[in-house]
Structure 1
């Protein structure tokens, strides 16, 4: 069963000033079925929140970890949760 989920991921590394949020949004839209956002944090990480089918959210998370992302990803920490259903699309914040 492909249940609806929410995943919040914090991406560490050289992920600000390299188009990381833009590419993350493009990947989420390419996967389809996902809503949420990508946000630069003051400590240099990028926070990614994605809601949608578990397989799609896992696909985005796998891409954040292993994909052809801009910059350099040193690590990703994530928390899975119940979706809140408050996002219309996938945005850059």
Structure 2
């Protein structure tokens, strides 16, 4: 499964990208995460359907108390791009 996600809220300057990379690596997911100029964070993740779904659910909760997710735009597809690791852009 492949997911493209835009996360809105207090997600920059709070360790979001590092935590996303750590959690994705723990779950053997691949893809990337990056800050956007509008204050959101963008991610692409790939992996087993259940694992991607679990990651998205965890992401929605904000990972830790300093992160506040207001809402997320999530698009999923079964077509993967073939990432080999999860990186911070």
Deviation at 1:77, TM superposition (A): 1.2
* Match status 1:83 vs 2:80: yes
Q: Write the distance in 2 (CA, Å) between the matches of 1:28 and 1:92.
A: 11
TM-score of the aligned structures, taking structure 2 as reference length: 0.90
Partner residue in 2 for 1:57: 52
Structure 1 unaligned spans of 5+: none
Q: Write the distance in 1 (CA, Å) between the matches of 2:63 and 2:44.
A: 19
Contact 1:18 1:71 in 2 (8 A): yes
Q: Write the distance in 2 (CA, Å) between the matches of 1:30 and 1:91.
A: 13
C-alpha RMSD over aligned residues: 1.1
Contact 2:8 2:40 in 1 (8 A): yes
Q: Which of 27, 31, 44 is equivalent to 1:31?
A: 27
Q: Which of 4, 9, 18 is equivalent to 2:5?
A: 9
Partner residue in 1 for 2:61: 66
Structure 2 unaligned spans of 5+: none
Q: Write the distance in 1 (CA, Å) between the matches of 2:26 and 2:81.
A: 22
Q: Which of 39, 48, 72 is equivalent to 1:44?
A: 39
